[in-house]
Structure 1
Amino acid sequence: MDREDDFDRGVKNRRAVLGDAWVDKSLDNANAFNADFQALITRYAWNDIWGRPGLDHTTRRLLVLGMTMGLARWEEFELHCGAAIRAGVPLAKIQETLMQGAIYCGVPAANTAFKLTQDILRHEGLLPPPERLSAGVRVATHHTFSAPQLRVTLQGDGAPIVLSHALGLDSAMWDDYAAHLAAGGAGVPHQVLRYDHRGHGGSGSPAGPYAMDDLVDDAARVIREWGRGPVTWVGLSMGAMVGQGLAIHHPELVGRLVLANTTSQYPEAAAANWAQRIATVNERGMAAVAEMVVERYLHADFRAAEPAATDAIRQRLLRDDAAGYAASCHAVAGVDWLDRLAQVRCPTLVIAGARDAGAPPAMGEAIAARIPGATLHVIEDASHLSVLETPDEFRRVVAAFLQKQS
C-alpha cells in the first residue's frame, strides 16, 4: 500500500476547502508548463499551511478573505468566498470580516468585496431579502469626546428616550427593547439612546472608586451632548439609580422617568455584602462572582427555560473589566436618594419584580411613596432583569405609562 505523502495530504486539504469540482479542474489542467507550480502550492500551501494545527479551517478561510481583500486579488477572493459560503461558514462571520476590511483595507475594497459576496449569495440562493434602512432598523454608534469616553448608540427617529443598563452589563441588554421603541412599539416612534456606563462595555474605565454622583454627571453630559433633552429615562437597577439622581440634580433634562428593579437606598446590613463582593472581585476577578450575580439577576425558572439567554448574561459579566466593575459597585452600594425623592417632579413609573431578591418590591414601594404622583407596578413572574424575563409585560406597562403622559 502506498504511503500518503505531503502532496496527497495537501490535495485532501485543498478538496476540503475548495471542493472536489474546483480541485479536479485545477489538477486536470496541469501540463508541462504549470505542473511544478501545482505541486508546489499543493505541498506547501495546502499541506504545510492549511494543515497546521494552530488555526481551524474557518479562521483560515476568514483570514484569506481579509488578505485577498487588502491585496485586491479579487479572483482569489471570489474563489475562497464562494467556497466558504458553500461550506457553511456563518454569514455573520463573513460580514464581520468584510466590515473589518473596510477599516484596514479601505472602503472601496469593502465595496467590491460586499458586491462579489452578494453575487455569490444570489447565485447560491442564499441572498437575504431586502431590508430598507428605515428609522426602526438604523443604528449609529459614536463616542462622546469628554472624559471619560462613553460608548453611545443611537437608533431610530422621534421622541428622545434613554435606556440605562444594570451593573455589570452594558447597553446590549436593551437590544430588543430599543428596536421595539425605535419601530414605534410604544405607540409612537422614538429616537433611542443607549450608552455603556463608565467601567462597562466599550466605555472608558477611569480609576475608581466611583460615586453615584459621577454616574449622574456622566448621564447629564451624554444628554447635553446629544442635545435632545428633556428625555424619557428608562433605567433598570443601577441605571434606575442614575435616573433618580438625574431627576434630582438635573430636572430640566428629564421629562418622564421609568425606574425598574431598583432601590434608592440600601439598608445598613447590605454594606458588608457589598464590601465582600468588591474585595472578591479585586482579589479573584469576575469569575468569582459571575454565577452569583446571574442567580440574583434571573430566577431559576427562567434560567432553566432560557439557557442561551442566561449564558449570554454570564458571558457579559465574565468579560467585564474587574476594576471597573468593583469601582461601580462602590457607587451602587452608596446610593442614597431616598430622602430627596420628593424633589422629583416628572411623571414616574416604578417597576418591581415579585421574585427579585436584590431589589424586592418593598424597595420599589418606598420609591413610589416618596415621588409625588408616582405609580408602582409589580411584575409577578420577574426577578431582577424584568425586561429580559418578562419582555411583553415590561413593554406593555411602559407603553401604557408613556401614552398616558403624552
Structure 2
Amino acid sequence: MSARSEPRLLEHVALDGERLHTVFTPGRGTPLLLCNDFIANLDVLDEFVAALDRPVLCFDLPGIGTSADVSRFRRMSALTRLLARLLDHYRLDTPVDVMGIGWGGLLAQQFAHGHRDRVRRLVLAGTSSGQLMFPGRLASLMRLARPGALGAIAPDGQNARSVFGGRRNDECGAIAQAMARATAPTNRGYAAQLYALAGYSSLPWLHRLNVPTLVMAGDDDAIVPMVNARVLALLLPQAKLKIIRGGGHWFVLERTDEVVRILDEFLESRFAPSAADQDSTF
C-alpha cells in the first residue's frame, strides 16, 4: 500500500451545465484518470486508489454519488468532452493514463478514440465493446437492473460473489465492504448511464485505436464474461491481455495488491505487444 504525504483534493467542479464531484489524489508520475463502473460512486474505489502510488483523478458522473443531478442526457462521445474539460480544470495538459472499469471501460475507450492526443496508455478492466457483447449471467444482470445502491445487493461476501462472480467468499468480502460506501443514483443519473450505453459499440473502430492498452479480466466474471476481454485484446493493435484467475467482475477490489502490481508494471514499462501477448487472446 502506498503512503501519501499530500492530502486529497475534493471538489465539485462546474462543467458545461453539470456539477461533478471529483477527487484528485496526488502522487508521483503520470496521472491516472479513473472511470468507474455503472452507477458506482467514487467512494467504492477508496482502497484501490489508496494503493496506487501515482496521481489519480476520480469523478462521479451527474446523478451519481454527490454530483448534482443530470442537466441533460449525453451519449458517450459527449461525456468524453466533459472529461476533456475536467482535465483542463486540473491543468493536466500532457497525456494521461486512463483506466476504465466495467461501464467506465466503454467511456475510457471512447475517450481514447475521440481524444487520442490526451491519452498515453489505456487500461480496460472487466469491460467489453458495448452492447454487441457476450452477456453475463441473467440472474446477476437482473439484480443489477434495479436503480438502487450497489451495497443493497452485496451486503456480504456471499452475496457479492453470487452477483459479481469470484471464487472465494473471503475475497468477495472486500467487495461488500467497498459497496457499503455505495449510494443510490438519482433516477435521472441511472437513466443517463443507460442512455449513453444504448446502441453504443466500439467494434467499428477498435482496430484503429493505436494506443498501448492493458486488457484485464476475471475468469469468473458474472457480469462481463472473460470472452469479451479476449475480443478487445484481439482487435486492439497494441493490446496486452491479463487474466485474473478466480477473479469476478470487481477483481480490482478482490485482488487489489495483485492488480496494482500488474498495473504498475504495464504503466511503467516500455510497452510493445509481443507475439505471446497476441496469441493469448484466443
State TM-score, norm by structure 2.
0.79
Pairwise mapping of residues 3-402 of structure 1 onto structure 2 (< 5 A)? 135-146=4-15, 147-158=17-28, 159-182=30-53, 190-207=54-71, 209-228=73-92, 229-267=94-132, 281=146, 285-286=147-148, 290-291=152-153, 294=160, 295-299=162-166, 301-302=168-169, 307=173, 309-310=175-176, 312-313=178-179, 316-317=182-183, 319-402=184-267
Matched residues in 2 for 1:269 and 1:309: separation?
24
TM-score (norm 1): 0.57
Distance 1:179 1:307, change over 3 A: closer
| Residue 327 (structure 1) shift | 2.2
Q: Are residues 209 and 397 of structure 1, via their aligned partners in 2, closer, same or farther at CA, if it must alter by over 3 Å? A: same
Q: Distance in 2 between matches of 1:201 and 1:163?
A: 15
Deviation for aligned residue 1:326: 2.7
The amino acid that maps onto 2:67 is: S
Q: Classify the secondary structure of the residue corresponding to 1:142.
A: strand
Please, which runs of 5 or more residues in structure 1 have no aligned partner? 1-133, 183-189
C-alpha distance in 2, partners of 1:247/1:362?
Answer: 22
The alpha-carbon distance between structure 1 residues 136 and 322, as it changes in their structure 2 partners (threshold 3 A), is farther
Give the deviation of 1:380 after TM superposition. 0.9
Distance 2:255 2:52 in 1: 16
Structure 2 Cα separation of the partners of residues 343 and 224 of structure 1: 26
Alpha carbons of structure 1 residues 349 and 227: separation in structure 2 relative to 1, 3 Å: same
Q: Which has the higher strand share?
A: 2
- Comparing both chains, which one has the higher relative contact order based on Cα–Cα distances under 8 Å and sequence gaps of 6 or more? 2
User: Contact 1:165/1:237 (CA < 8 Å) preserved in 2?
Assistant: yes
List per-residue Cα deviations over 1:334-387 (Å, max 9, x = no partner): 331111112222211000110012211111111111111211111012111111
Give distance in 2, aligned partners of 1:357 and 1:381. 11
Q: 1:232 Cα deviation (Å)?
A: 0.5
Instruction: Indicate the residue corresponding to 1:7 in structure 2.
Output: none
Work out which of the two has the higher radius of gyration on C-alpha atoms and give 1 or 2.
1
Are residues 300 and 314 of structure 1, via their aligned partners in 2, closer, same or farther at CA, if it must alter by over 3 Å? farther
Size of the aligned set, in residue pairs, is 257
Q: Secondary structure in 1 aligned to 2:168?
A: helix
Quote the Cα distance in structure 2 between the aligned partners of 1:372 and 1:308. 34
Q: Name whichever structure is richer in helix by fraction.
A: 1
When structure 1 is superposed on structure 2, of 240-249 and 161-170 the one drifting more is: 161-170
Give secondary structure in 1 for the equivalent of 2:23.
Answer: strand
Alpha-carbon distance between aligned partners in 2 of 1:214 and 1:140, rounded to the nearest angstrom = 26
Q: Does the 8 A contact of 1:199 with 1:328 survive in 2? A: no
What CA RMSD, in Å, does the superposition of the two structures yield over aligned residues? Answer: 3.0
